[in-house]
Amino acid sequence: MASSSADPGLPEHAYYLRMVRWTNKSSVTGFILIGFSGLPQLREALFVVILVLYLLTILGNTAIILVSCLEPKLHMPMYFFLSHLSFLDLCFTSSVVPQLLVNLGGADKSISYGGCVVQLYVSLALGSTECVLLAVMSYDRYVAVCRPLHYASIMHPRLCHALASLAWLSGVATTLVQSTLTLQLPLCGHRHVDHFICEVPVLLKLACVDTTFNEAELFVASVLFLLVPVSFILGSYGLIARAVLSISSGEGRRKAFGTCSSHLLVVVIFYGTIIFMYLQPAKSRSKDQGKFVSLFYTVVTPVLNPLIYTLRNKEVKGALKRALRMSGE
């Protein structure tokens, strides 16, 4: 990324004073989220589709959280982690979609500086936490398939709470580092963010100084929170596949695979889009392509997760049916 250099016609102190003034101006007036302004023919359709998906996300993930808490048969480690996943998806999409709908529905594309900062911290923390949580859930599936007789003793409540806390704390920690380093950069004069969300990569493009260190730190964080969890998940499922193939009966293999298929499908969808977005060279994709990829993992993925788990999981479907019958009585 090219970095701006000082104007040779200005003394060095005057140049940095001007940069501070620009930064202060952005702090007061906020930013303009360009979003999908270059595709005006899609604005109304996107508004309707995103609104419907957001409402389904709220409904689906809230239902998963409620049945996981209220149904005694679902008081198991798998559904404990699933409720955390649903809560993450619910909060993550809520940190992005309302502002996106406002920008799509009217002429005002602005977001306040404080709103941008909150969106940056919250969305990055929740996304990073989900990366680790999916890896934790793969360990839970490994124990369920490969160590079924010891499942209850290994995945005891204290360990489950510790693993969930690890996911949350690691997500918050990386956010404090990445977001704080990004917000300390002096900004150039314009306030136009060529995206629909305040993310680290797009905010780095507004900086007036060399951002090599920030880009390197972002890449390291991407490796830690994407490639490391993916490697752990692949290792877990490699052991699961070996255990499943050793089962002699076809019914046993189908049952063992069924306990993992929902989580595996969620992993493929989530990590596939995130890795495409963060680890692919920026020059190899168009701006609109990057926006639609971001749109997929911020809007579409959160609504798919509850559908995948309810459609492929008999316990969750049964709990939902019982809850609906009780509410109808």
Interior/surface letters 271-295, b for 16+ CB within 10 angstroms, e for the rest:
bebbeebbeeeeeeeeeeebbebbb
More confident residue, 20 or 308: 308
For residue 192, what are the β-bridge partners?
A: 32
User: Could you list the residue range(s) of the whole structural domain that residue 278 is in?
Assistant: 29-324
Residue 159 domain flag: yes
Question: The domain that contains 150 carries what CATH number?
Answer: 1.20.1070.10
Is the pLDDT confidence value at 196 over 70?
Answer: yes
Q: Indicate whether 224 belongs to any domain.
A: yes
Q: Quick check: helix, strand or coil at residue 95?
A: coil
Tokens of 305: 């997760």
Does residue 16 carry a pLDDT above 50? no
Q: What is the pLDDT of residues 21-65, one digit of tens each?
A: 444 444 446 788 887 776 777 788 889 999 999 999 999 899 888
* 12 falls within a domain: no
Nearest Cα neighbor of 64 from 84, 45, 44, 41 is: 84
Q: Assess contact for 290 and 277: CB atoms under 8 A.
A: yes
Instruction: With respect to residue 300, please indicate whether it lies within any of the assigned structural domains.
Output: yes
Q: Let me know if residue 198 belongs to a domain.
A: yes
CA of residue 44 relative to chain centroid, distance: 25
Each residue of 301-327: pLDDT tens digit? 888 888 887 766 667 767 666 766 666
**Three-state DSSP class for 105?**
helix
* pLDDT at 173 > cutoff 70: yes
Say if 18 falls within a structural domain: no
Q: Is 22 within the bounds of a domain?
A: no
d(CA 59, CA 280) in angstroms, rounded, equals: 33
269-275 contacts: CB < 8 A, separation 24 or more? 269/301, 269/304, 270/130, 270/134, 270/297, 270/301, 271/131, 271/134, 271/226, 271/229, 271/230, 271/233, 273/297, 273/301, 274/127, 274/131, 274/226, 275/226, 275/227, 275/230
pLDDT the model gives residue 160: 94
Q: Return d(Cα 123, Cα 259) in angstroms, integer.
A: 30
Contact status, residue 33 vs residue 99, Cβ threshold 8 Å: yes
Say which DSSP state 36 is in: T
Q: Which residues, at least 6 apart from 2, have a Cβ–Cβ distance to it below 8 Å? A: none
Query: What is the pLDDT averaged over residues 117-127?
Result: 92
Split into its structural domains, the chain has a count of 1
pLDDT for the residue numbered 145: 86
Within a domain: 88: yes
Largest CA distance in the chain: 80
